Structure 1
Amino acid sequence: MSNKIKNNGITLIPFWKKILYSLISLLCLFIMMFVVFLSWRDFMSLVNLKEKVYFSWRVFFISFGFPISFHLLFSIMYACFSDSPRPYRGRVVNFLAWIFFVALLLSVPVSLYVDNKLKYSGYITCSKKSLIAPNEYVKNSKLCN
């Protein structure tokens, strides 16, 4: 027989695993918040039309894909401490899932539109430093590093 205690068909998680799962979730949350902060910083450079603008499809996708990821991490932590899984249904989850899929579908067309709009406004594209870096648009070619 397994050493796991079952309560109404639900396997109870030992306390040390709850703490471990919560710490891993918090670490993932902090990493996600850092990535979203960087994405929003790049997004705000586009909104303010600064001398240097950073934008790509990933900036748009990460910015609007964060809410569902945050909800999933919160649900994991909730399930650890309440010993009952949180249902993944309801208006909030449906709304967050729609935001995620709309962002997924719109990320590439919005990126292409922003690229054309910035080039039409007089911005030039700098060469990329890496494949995963967002596109860098500048008004003056001397600003390219």
Structure 2
Amino acid sequence: MPRWDKIIVSIFFLILFIVIGILVYGYTISLFLMEDIIIFSEPIVMLTLGVPLVIYTCFAMTIEFFLGVKSIVFMSLMTFNKLIMRYLVYLGLAGVLLSFPISFVVNIFLLDEGYKTCDKISWLSPTTYVKELSFCNNKKALNK
């Protein structure tokens, strides 16, 4: 693959995973702010803790392909690469291992706080917690 193709592909994946990170963190922030409608599930926990690893990897690839291996930015990035990657991998593994218990605890906490769950479309869809069941039928409120 030519160098410019690698640059374009790495920039594409960097932008893609940044957008995914923003969407996932939106769900997590709604949980912390205790909004009227909260969408939460196990994959959201995994993605919340795993996206930094993917974004860092895509960022490093973009720097390598765009500036080259001999650039000062890439050399300084690679100085701390093992340390950064080690902790990001630990964070990602923690997300995989802790996703089920965290999801279980969040479910109990939200139900104790008076939230109700909407009916799910499928068993894979995330659970939607609402303060009033009338929000379940309001598609505009769910898609905000």
Q: Give the TM bin, normalised by the shorter chain.
A: 0.7 to 0.9
Normalising by structure 1, report the TM-score.
0.78
**Alpha-carbon displacement from aligned partner over 1:102-124 (angstroms, at most 9, x marks no partner):** 11111111011101111111111
Shift of 1:87: 8.7
Shift of 1:61: 1.3
Matched positions, count = 130
Q: Which runs of 5+ in 1 are unaligned?
A: 1-12
Residue 47 (str. 1) matches residue 47 (str. 2): no
User: 1:116 corresponds to which residue?
Assistant: 108
**Structure 1 residues 126 and 61, CA, compared in 2 at 3 Å: closer, same or farther?**
same
Moved over 4 A (4+): 83-89
Amino acid at match of 1:55: F
What SS does the corresponding residue of 1:128 show, helix, strand or coil?
coil
What SS does the corresponding residue of 1:144 show, helix, strand or coil?
helix
* Structure 1 CA distance for aligned equivalents of residues 64 and 22 of structure 2: 27
Shift of 1:76: 2.1
* Structure 1 CA distance for aligned equivalents of residues 92 and 55 of structure 2: 12
Normalising by structure 2, report the TM-score.
0.79
Higher-Rg member (1/2): 1
Identical aligned residues as a percent: 23
Amino acid at match of 2:12: L
Q: Which runs of 5+ in 2 are unaligned?
A: 138-144
Structure number with the bigger relative contact order (C-alpha 8 A, sep ≥ 6) is 2
**Alpha-carbon displacement from aligned partner over 1:16-46 (angstroms, at most 9, x marks no partner):** x221111111111222122111111111111
Instruction: Please point out which of 125, 130, 137 is paired with 2:129.
Output: 137
Q: From the two aligned structures, give the one with the greater helix fraction.
A: 2
Root mean square deviation, CA, Å: 2.3
* Structure 1 CA distance for aligned equivalents of residues 79 and 3 of structure 2: 18
